[in-house]
Structure 1
Amino acid sequence: MSKIITSANQQNDALFVLIKSLTKSEKRQFNLYVGRLGGNIDAKFFSLFKFLEKLKVYDEKVIIGSGIVSKQQLSNLKAHLYKQILISLRLNPAHKNIRIQIREQLDFATVLYQKGLYKQSLKLLDKAKNMALDNEEKNIAYEIVELEKVIETQYITRSLSNRAGQLSIQAKELSQQNVIASKLSNLSLQLYSHLLQNGYVKNNEELEFVNEYFYSKLPKYDFKTLGFREKLWLYKAHLWFSFLTQDFLQSYKYAKKWVDLFKENNKLIVLHPVFYLKGINYLLEASFFVHKSSTFKHELAYFESEIEQNKIPLNTNTELLIFLYLYSNKLHLHFLEGTFSEGEYLVAIINDKINKYQNRLDDHYVVMLYYKIACLYFGMGKNQLCITYLQKIIRSKNLGSAEDLQCFARVLNLIAHYECGLDYDLEKQFIDTYKFLLKMENLQEVQKEFITSIRALSDVFPHEIKKEFKKIHTRLKKFENHPYEKRAFLYLDILSWLESKIENKPIALIIKEKSNRARKK
């Protein structure tokens, strides 16, 4: 883990990361673009591009030592190269999405307007506006209407009064929809930010605050007048609110609405593939949290079929998200069904892809995948391998917002050491875990109760151990559906582990039996 993080930090230069993200076709396009500029094929910026393309790790001393550019010129040359690459990418047909096409038409119309060719400008604007409205690009549509109004005041037509009225009404409607969309997107962003900074609500006081904040900021709206974009932000705001308040059934409801919205407007998947992918991931996550096994399997299979049929546009961004969401949820499926051993093949694939995407993968996602792999090995009874992956998380110093994962990794680490019979190391692990948990401001009762109980097991006689496990299970069971404590069981299935000790069965079998019972209900 530390190797990955160090490598990522060494290569976080914006230009270097951009060059390394280019596909073969994009590099070929850039070579052609530079060639068309004439006289630039031997220019310094192109020499710098070729040098950085071959460089494994970004190092300014090596770049300056190449003789391509002096230290004083490097900053300006990098800025120029960065701009030229972006221009080339903008010209690439693969990046010519609807939004860029509309912007292009608006730019052309502006040029025509400045030349006094009003009629031609209005014709292009009308075409661009229809494209914008058809594709829910209402901010650009509003810009276009405003420019149409400006031109109409200078290009006098016979139908000016009627035209002016139409444009005024259209501008007002678009403005109102943009205001609602802006308020909903602000609310969604603030809720997401609150979740990252403070985590889920932990008591009645926090719940009251979040409720008050959400309902006071939720704008008034007429649902019948909302378009795709406004509905999308509405569902997002409700989703984050439900996650914050740990109402995972509501999370499922709004994630489903989010995904269905795209399925009803298929062409917008092409325009907003990232939003669509995130919606799918939240739907799968919420299904997992509420143990909707059949729904989870169906949605995961549908997601895989869409990937196989290339229904989701592939670019460097979506390729990364597809990897994260697909393989995280493939692991979740084995957790749901207790088929841990059948999921072991995923480990090698995930590690290969972590290495492939390491320059662009956020540390938090890497740690999340390591934790899930550790859980997979724990479910298989391969506790030494479980500990190996947990140590990658525990020893990492650069996690920032992943404090929750650190906490659960340490608790699982304690259990895995206990299972391995590593008694000589157990006391040290307990002290380290306890020290870490004390630093956490939002330490949960489940965690306190559990680590205290685990430590006490060392003083229990072997013939009384099963009785002690039953006591721990009884103490923790009351938290399973607790509004503020149940989250602990989503990250670590402590109850199933305790039941496996009480019934003397593998944890995988306990989870499989629970899954089968749930399906029969």
Structure 2
Amino acid sequence: MTNAQRDALFILVKSLSKSEKRQFKLYVGRLGTNSDAKFLALFNHLDKMRTYNEASILESGIVKKSQLSNLKAHLYKQILVSLRLNPVNQNIRIQIREQLDFATILYQKGLYKQSLKILDKAKNMAIEHEEKNVAYEIVELEKIIETQYITRSIPDRADELAVQAKELSAQNLIASKLSNLSLQLYSMMLKVGYVRNDEDLVRVQRYFEKHLPKYDLEALGFREKLWLYKAQLWYSFLTQDFLSSYKYASKWVDLFYEYEEMIRLNPVFFLKGNHYLLESLFLVRYSSQFKDTLEKLEVIVSDKSFPSNDNIASLAFLYLNSNKLNHHFLEGTFQKGLYLVNIVEYGIKKHAGRIDQHHVMLLYYKIACLYFGNGDHKNCIVYLKKIIENKQLKMREDLMCFARVLNLVAHYEAGMDYHLEVQLKSTYKFLLKMNDLHAVQKEMIKFLRGLGDIYPNELRNEFQKLYDRLKVYEDHPYEKRAFLYLDILSWLESHLQNRPVAEIIREKALAVTR
């Protein structure tokens, strides 16, 4: 990894928009003595650099090597202060925290009444906007102040604060347990994907049941329900219960429409909920509902009232384009989807540093499938190579496995089978290492390995045999996931019927239109 990728300050400076850079310079220049500050000179130098170069900084004479680390830390802090003061970043959370800071300062000055007044206002704001962690902090500070300055304006003040603290603590505890469960299930999904056998299923079921706290749904607020639906969604994904995935993703999104103010306060969770709803609709093949949901999301995201920042822009790019690709897979319109390749490539470069490698590789896999469906096997191989050769990808082993299987098929289709035996051995070795060699993969590798011994006039019969063997796994609880990554059956049907695979998939899509 290069210094440019490692240096946090350089990345932060390069992430700033023109208006944010202007805001920073105005912030620094608020005092005349800062106009020649070394940290401002360092900022200007970094802003002009295309890649991070420490030698260039030292040669500029701005700072000595022994002082560079401290100066960079100071500049980093000043940029964050400037960004915090920017009106664009003044969301409810920051406003509540600011009020808590003000109250703490007043308390330290001994102005107890003024501090309590601000705290009460901030607490009501926090509870109203489901910021219960900070609300609990506020109550705890109120309790501290009350022990030093007993106000007689409200009867039974101590009892009121004690009850409030107990309620908030209980709500925060259940939210914490649900968020922990959700995070652990998400981690399982990223690492190994769907359950692969009965042993996996029992392990996930036991973990879920053991860590799911007891709850009264009617007593849960927005935040607790959100974490509950997240946990249930990941459990459904892991166990390949895609109808349940659709159910809980719908509950997640509907929760935001029930609490519309939360869309503005939690746009990231709103985007993620819609993404998982679309993914669930894709997995259960609800084509028409998928299209409606995607169009609705695109309208909301493009509306001026929807929050806007770098993180949201990156997630919107990722989720919208990933699901646009899925939409073309659903309908078999691979040719129409090719325009997305340039958009995705440009977006990956534009949002570099904010989209992790796992999601970048997932986009590459989808592009590879797009080319495969369009019959462009050489470009399919180009994108699969990006995944197979990525040594940094530690997550989603199932994605790596199916990328390699598709790579074998694409090489065969492209007529590039002169070193297929070497790739077969490499893929087989990889799958054994990952402990992910399932029936569908075994059948595919067995078929491809035997191609060299099959006469051309026997080929159609061998395709039919493979189709018959694989068809029985289409609805198998653990083997069906293979067909989520690569529609092998449609590929075989295209050979048996001597028709393009895209045509086969389109016909199937029309037959199950909902």
TM-score (norm 1): 0.95
Asked if the contact 1:354/1:361 (under 8 Å) is kept, the reply is yes
- Mapped partners of 1:87, 1:498: distance in 2: 60
Deviations along 1:387-443, whole A, 9 cap, x unmatched?
Answer: 222222223322222433232222112111211222323333323322332322222
Identify the residue that residue 3 of structure 1 maps to in structure 2: none
Q: Structure 2 counterpart of 1:488, which letter?
A: A
| 1:202-221: CA deviation from partner (whole Å, max 9, x where unpaired) | 22122112111111111111
In 2, distance between residues paired with 1:506 and 1:206? 37
Question: Secondary structure of the equivalent of 1:36?
Answer: coil
Q: CA deviation at 1:182?
A: 0.9
CA displacement, residues 309-346 of structure 1 (integer Å, 9 cap, x when unaligned) = 13431111111111111101000000000000011111
1:75 counterpart = 2:98:
no
Tell me which residue corresponds to 1:433: 427
Q: Classify the secondary structure of the residue corresponding to 2:21.
A: helix
Partner of 1:146: 140
Offset at residue 65 of structure 1 (A): 2.3
Match of 2:349 in 1: 355
One-letter code aligned to 1:324: L
2-side partners of 1:478 and 1:96: how far apart?
Answer: 57
Worse-matched range after superposition: 146-155 or 297-306: 146-155
Q: Is the 8 A contact 1:417 1:425 kept in 2?
A: no
Is the CA contact (8 Å cut-off) linking 2:191 and 2:396 kept in structure 1? no
For the pair 1:318 / 2:312, whether they are aligned, the reply is: yes
2:53 paired residue number:
59
In 1, are the aligned partners of 2:123 and 2:135 still within 8 Å (CA)? yes
Change beyond 3 A, Cα 1:352–1:384: same
Deviation string, structure 1 residues 327-371 (Cα, Å, up to 9, x no partner): 010000000000000111111111111222224332222221111
Q: What is the alpha-carbon distance in structure 1 between the residues aligned to residue 60 and residue 171 of structure 2?
A: 55
Q: How much identity, in percent, do the aligned residues show?
A: 65
Q: Distance in 2 between matches of 1:178 and 1:399?
A: 35
CA distance in 2, matches of 1:269, 1:196: 26
For structure 2, the residue ranges without an aligned partner over 5 or more in a row are none
After superposition, residues 181-196 of structure 1 pair within 5 angstroms as: 181-196=175-190
* Aligned equivalent of 2:380, options 380, 383, 386: 386
Amino acid across the alignment from 2:187? S
> Which residue matches 2:268?
274
Distance 1:370 1:198 in 2: 19
Which residue in the other structure is 2:250 paired with?
256
State the alpha-carbon separation in 2 of the partners of residues 299 and 425 from structure 1. Answer: 44
| Matched residue type, 2:505 | I
- Partner secondary structure for residue 510 of structure 1: helix
Which region of structure 1 is more displaced relative to structure 2, 234-243 or 452-461?
Answer: 452-461
Query: Is residue 200–residue 243 contact of structure 1 (8 Å, CA) maintained in 2?
Result: yes
Q: Report the equivalent of 2:442.
A: 448
Is contact 1:29-1:88 (8 Å) kept?
yes
Report the Cα distance in structure 1 between the residues aligned to 2:500 and 2:263, rounded to whole angstroms.
43
TM-aligned CA deviation for residue 12 of structure 1: 2.3
Q: Deviations over 1:85-138 (max 9, x none)?
A: 111111011110000000111111111122222222121111111110110001
Q: Alpha-carbon deviation of 1:493?
A: 0.9
Q: Name the Cα RMSD after superposition.
A: 1.6
Task: For residues 2-50 of structure 1, give each alpha carbon's deviation from its aligned partner in whole angstroms, at most 9, with x where no partner exists.
Answer: xxxx66x742211111111111111111000000143112111111111
Residue number in structure 1 paired with 2:224: 230
Alignment partner of 1:87 out of 73, 81, 89: 81
- 1:308 aligned residue: 302
1:6-405 matched pairs, under 5 angstroms: 10-405=4-399
Instruction: Give the conservation status (yes or no) of the 8 Å contact 2:311–2:354.
Output: no
What is the Cα deviation at residue 506 of structure 1? 0.7
Question: Secondary structure at the residue paired with 2:341?
Answer: helix
Kindly indicate whether the alpha-carbon contact (under 8 Å) linking 2:368 and 2:379 is maintained by their aligned counterparts in 1: yes
Deviation at 1:274, TM superposition (A): 1.1
CA distance in 2: counterparts of 1:340 and 1:199, whole angstroms: 26
The aligned length equals 514
Task: Please state how far the C-alpha of 1:227 moved relative to its aligned partner.
Answer: 0.3
SS, match of residue 153 in structure 1: helix
Q: Distance in 2 between matches of 1:403 and 1:226?
A: 36
Assess, with a 3 A threshold, how the Cα gap between structure 1 residues 157 and 366 changes in structure 2: closer, same or farther. Answer: closer
SS in structure 2 at match of 1:355: helix
